[in-house]
Structure 1
Amino acid sequence: MTFEVDPRTALNKLAFGPGAAERHDIAKAGLEGWLVQQLKPPAEDDCTARIAAAHLRLKYTSKTPEAEVDEERPLGVIAQPIEQHWKTVETNLPGQERTFLRSAVAAATLVRAVHSRWQLREVLVDFWHNHFNVNALGDNLVAVALPAYDRDVIRRHALGNFREMLEAVATSAAMQIYLNNRSSRGGAANENYARELFELHTLGRPAYLNALYNKWRKVPGALEGHPQGYIDQDVYEAARAFTGWSIEDGAGIGAGRRLPMTGKFTYVETWHDNYQKRVLASEFDPYQSPLADGRRVLDLVADHAATARFVCDKLCRRLVSDTSDPALVAAATKVWTEERRKPDQIARTVEAIVRSDSFGRSAGAKVKRPIELYASFARAVGIDVTPTPGLLGELDASGQRLFGWGPPTGHPDDNDYWLSSNMMRRRWSLLLGLADDAWKAGASGVAPAIAAKPAPEQAVDAAYRQLLGVEAPAKVTVAIVEGLGLKPGQPFDARKDALPLARRMLAYCAMTPAFQTR
């Protein structure tokens, strides 16, 4: 099926808004060619050099002056392996050393959102980080593990195979710490990870049938080996299957021995509950080989029909609209299920969604979340991103705390949440600050050209065209001109304040519903 969608719709949904590189690629290869390329990005990060050259301020005091730090630290530290970052734990460095890693990953995320050529990958990385949420603001050990989680788990598998991604998540230090599985032992299994695996990562809350059935054999389909959903018994048994899955965090393992201090995944046989289990109506024999019990759970949940429906519905709501088209979800679910053994299962499912009529009709159906609003504005006006603590703090205050959302649910993905009166004020504040370069995070080079327009209505139209690619509606032009205390037709380019007014026009045009949605 040919990809026949308005290019602006495609770039607002499959990228962080239209950028110069995408417009060039589409003009050269067409939208179809652009999509094919986006679905198969290279493994390497095209923003590596840009990220390595960027810095964030790190400052903290110490009881001993020689241990104080006040420096511009390069973001390139996030490329180091987890064992290097874990030294901040092993040597008991101040907490700021650990929380810096969360800030660095967030800053690199902004750089990629604006500058990466592989925009679809960045959009899906954002989706999967939300789906497999961890809170690096609430626990600085999660912050230490975040660079590896972002790089080796989420980014590596964002367009790949879901089953492989599940195991990468399950064995990551970030998730092991966040959902407490690293401390899970036979006889005292911690259920946190197992519960969220079922409820949030795979089958979903709609498949939780414990209110209807309290015995596994009562669940419809269970006696045939295909239960329609899960109950608490499944969670309890799955938790037992993941006992002994841990990380190298220096914990004692008996007989005077301790695990190394690297933060890497490990399996401790003596901590595993080796007795028989039953998960989703499947019997687990006792004393299986190392990791086999947990991996079988991952196989079962990855292949379950409820998982296909739940994850595909979330993908449709992220890429299309809050209200999923049942026919589209069914079509995506079919592709997901048929391609579940393919290394690019996720890419094939996404392709089915974006080639649908529902996707083509969905322009403006979703409200941009703060990172989307920031990145689309920066891309539209040509800001060369320089992440700063002030910008990261403003994004946190706007409601989208990158890698810092407390509950495991991840940020809400519905328009109503982002359209409250408080959220709208924060969105406007973000845009005004970006236009004025309030946080020294990169200034736009287009404002001088807008300030050079002879009349204010022409300047507003130029700003609107820069952001949205079309002529400004008359009511928008009038509202902005009058709102700035100007009069149509009066000289504009000769004003001493033309440049700050031009920046304000950009911000006001970005506040219109046409730019606020995607």
Structure 2
Amino acid sequence: MNRKILHRIGFGPNRQSLERINTIGFEAYLEEQLNPSNQESPKLIEQRRKFKFIQEESEAAGQPFRFLDAQLSELWALVKKEAHQTIPAAEVIINTCLNAIYSPWQLREVMVHFWHNHFNVSIHADERIAATLPLYDKAVIRKNCFGNFRTFLEDVATSQAMLFYLNNASSRASPANENFARELFELHTLGKDNYLNHIYNKWRDVPGATEGQAIGYIDEDIYEAARAFTGWTVADGAWTENGDKPHTGEFLYLEKWHDNYQKRILGVEFEANQGPLADGRKVLDLLAAHPGTARFICQKLCIRFIADDPPESIITKATQTWMQEQDSPQQIRAVLKTILLSKEFRHALGNKIKNPFELLCSMVRILDLDFMPNLNLQWMLEQMGYHLFSWTTPTGHPDQASYWLNSNMMLKRWNSIPSILFDNWHKMATFDVDDLLPPSVQSSKEIVQFFVQKILGNTQQLSQEQRLIRILLTEDQTEDDSPRTYGKEDRQYRFAHLIALILMSPQFQYR
């Protein structure tokens, strides 16, 4: 049970996490995970210290991490020079992999990935997004991943990454750019289920609208919300009719770009000529407090932690907690606790498919490997359909088995597993297979059972034991003989083949 829990609330078990949860129990372990300290594992600290870009990767070849904790002024200097703008994003990609594999605070890392996917931006959409990605990751996503959703929303809306990605940085009155407003409604808050334009095309017809409590939204709400966010931009040095904007990269409210006329959104009247940022903040208030947003986000969280089609009972309980904790600085944490301590969570363990990033991290963690990612990993993940910080559309990656389970995707998974772990060209995994085996494990049968137990947690979970044993046998060997007497190259090849096949098993594809 605890192994399955670690696959579900983290990126899979490793020796330390298994020992911890087995010692203190799930509820105490969850409480620790929901309240992470600043203390990281020595291994994570060591891997960050050791990291250097490899020669063929970029103009940063040979350089260590430089920009993960950089201030905006340092990152924006790259934009001004139009040089090395992609290096900060490359560092975030590598550090994201290291965190997911080696951080003891696994639930935090899962939630960071969840929110990056929810508030998706692509570094390929604009090099300024790549340059400022460390700030988006640390000061927006990581800062708020357990916090208050209303606070989170405003941090996203004023971030350089989102302002550039959804074009609000250039949005000004007459006409406003609708990209951010549409995704704010459809993807970030209310969701498509609360889009009612196919039923109503006049705001007065939407139930609750005349009382200022519209149950859903129509296109008119999006148009009006786009007007509310005009003038929310970035000090990017661009020309305006009244002189160039400052060139600092900071969030900028440009009054002359803002549409100050009255508005009506979700049935609520906005008076004309409100103060700076007031219109946009009022939209965020309405959306964050809306019951439709509560259900939409809670349903997504239940899909991530429970099932592709989670029971209505847990969605309802999570939604109730969300609404009760609306003003709490720990709103999201409270909702997670409701979900993860539920009977629905316990009953659903092991039935969610891992996406390629989750699969990769769980492989490295279960084998306790010394793993140093490089940008070849990004290419490998893309071959499996996972685009880390580069998913093209605002939707983010699907979290449904129907997307990841098809013949093409599975073939790419199977081909990638031995390549990631055992091929030399990418130079990421450094280990000797012999080192994974304790001295007491000698025979072919014992070795197979050891690795099945280590990777899957139960020797009864795999029905192909005899076929796996045959991988280790030469013509004159039996299952009771020891393949550890083979030559090193032959031994490494056979053991690697065995491990890869166990990792390809259906049981390991699920969390």
TM-score normalised per structure 2: 0.94
For the 8 Å contact 1:276–1:286, the answer to whether it is kept is yes
Q: Secondary structure at the match of 2:63?
A: strand
The DSSP-based 3-state class of the residue aligned with 1:313 is: helix
- C-alpha root-mean-square deviation of aligned residues, in Å? 2.0
Task: Show the counterpart of 1:38.
Answer: 33
Could you tell me which amino acid in structure 1 is paired with residue 61 of structure 2?
E
Q: How far off its partner does 1:31 sit?
A: 2.0
Matched position secondary structure for 2:62: strand
CA deviation string 1:445-466 (max 9, x = no partner):
5544449743323222111122
Deviation at 1:378, TM superposition (A): 0.7
Please name the residue that 1:500 is paired with.
493
Secondary structure of 1:262's counterpart equals strand
2:120 to 116, 119, 133: 133
Kept in 1, the 8 Å contact 2:472–2:483? The answer is no
Deviation for aligned residue 1:37: 1.0
SS at match of 1:378: helix
Percent of aligned pairs with the same amino acid: 41
Q: Aligned AA for 2:29?
A: W
CA contact (8 A) 1:58 1:73 kept: no
Aligned mates of 1:138, 1:234 — CA distance in 2: 27
Q: Structure 2 residue aligned with 1:469, among 452, 457, 460?
A: 457
Gaps of 5+ in 2: none
Rounded Cα–Cα distance in structure 1 between residues aligned with 2:318 and 2:509: 27
Cα deviation per residue 1:23-82 (whole Å; 9 max; x = unaligned)? Answer: 232244322211111111236766566424412236699xxxxxxx46222124221123
Q: Give 1:366 shift.
A: 0.5
Query: How far 1:485 moved relative to its partner?
Result: 6.9
Is 2:51 the counterpart of 1:54? yes
**Quick check: 1:26 aligned with 2:21?**
yes
Describe how 1:337-376 pairs up with structure 2 within 5 A: 337-376=323-362
Partner of 1:406: 392
Structure 1 CA distance for aligned equivalents of residues 73 and 173 of structure 2: 27
1:509 aligns to what? 502
1:3 aligns with: none
The equivalent residue for 2:208 is 221
Distance 1:473 1:349 in 2: 33
Unaligned runs of 5+ in 1: 1-5, 62-68
Corresponding letter in the other structure for 1:126: H
CA distance in 2: counterparts of 1:87 and 1:51, whole angstroms: 24
1:25-424 equivalent positions in 2, closer than 5 A: 25-42=20-37, 47=44, 50-57=47-54, 69=59, 71-93=61-83, 97-255=84-242, 257-424=243-410
Distance change in 2, residues 1:53/1:261 (3 Å): farther
Q: CA 1:449/1:387 → structure 2, altered by over 3 Å: closer, same or farther?
A: closer
What are the equivalent positions in structure 2 for 1:427-442 lying under 5 Å apart? 427-438=413-424, 439-442=426-429
Aligned residue number for residue 456 of structure 1: 444
**Is the Cα–Cα contact under 8 Å of residues 160 and 343 in structure 1 kept in the other structure?**
yes
1:103 and 1:58, CA in 2 relative to 1: closer, same or farther beyond 3 A?
A: farther
CA shift in 2, pair 1:447/1:305, >3 Å: farther
CA distance in structure 1 between the aligned counterparts of 2:45 and 2:196, rounded to whole angstroms: 46
Residues 146 and 333, structure 2, Cα contact 8 Å, conserved in 1:
yes
Q: 1:52 to 1:175 in 2, by over 3 A?
A: farther
- Give the 3 Å change call, closer, same or farther, for CA 268–414 of structure 1 in structure 2: same
Q: TM-score when scaled to structure 1? A: 0.92
SS in 2 for 1:75: coil
The alignment status of 1:425 with 2:411, answered yes or no, reads yes
Match of 1:283, SS state, is strand
Moved more, 101-110 or 174-183: 101-110
- 1:482 Cα shift? 3.9
SS of equivalent to 1:254: coil
Work out whether residues 451 and 499 of structure 1, in 8 Å CA contact, stay in contact via their aligned partners in 2: no
Counterpart residue type for residue 514 of structure 1: Q
Indicate the SS of the match to 2:120: coil
- Paired letter, 2:444: P
- Taking a change above 3 Å as real, the CA distance of residues 30 and 491 of structure 1, as seen in their structure-2 partners, is closer
CA distance in 2, matches of 1:490, 1:371: 37
* Alignment deviations for residues 147-179 of structure 1 (CA, whole Å, 9 cap, x no partner): 110111000000111111100100000000000
Q: Any conservation in 2 of the 1:382–1:446 contact (CA below 8 Å)? A: no
Alignment partner, residue 17 of structure 1:
12
Separation in structure 2 between the aligned mates of residue 474 and residue 279 of structure 1, nearest angstrom = 57
The one-letter amino acid paired with 1:493 is R
The 1:24–1:448 alpha-carbon spacing in structure 2 relative to 1, beyond 3 Å, is closer
- Assess if the C-alpha contact under 8 Å between 1:385 and 1:442 holds in 2: yes
Change (3 A) 1:53 1:490: closer
Letter in 2 for 1:198: F
TM superposition shift of 1:137: 2.7
Q: Deviation digits for residues 380-435 of structure 1, max 9, x if unmatched?
A: 11112211122222112211110000011000110121111121122122220233
Q: Report the alpha carbon displacement of residue 138 of structure 1 after superposing the two structures with TM.
A: 3.5
Q: Which moved more, 1:493-502 or 1:287-296?
A: 493-502
Q: Deviations over 1:95-141 (max 9, x none)?
A: xx222322211110110001111110000001001100001133322
The amino acid of 1:386's aligned partner reads M
Structure 1 residues 485 and 418, CA gap change in structure 2 (3 angstroms): farther
- Distance (whole Å) between structure 2 residues aligned to residue 58 and residue 170 of structure 1: 37
What do residues 245-264 of structure 1 show as CA deviations (whole Å, max 9, x unaligned)?
00111112333x32222322
CA deviation string 1:358-377 (max 9, x = no partner): 11011211011111111111
Contact 1:99–1:137, Cα closer than 8 Å, also in 2: no
Q: CA deviation at 1:83?
A: 2.5
Measured after TM superposition, the shift of residue 513 of structure 1 is: 1.4
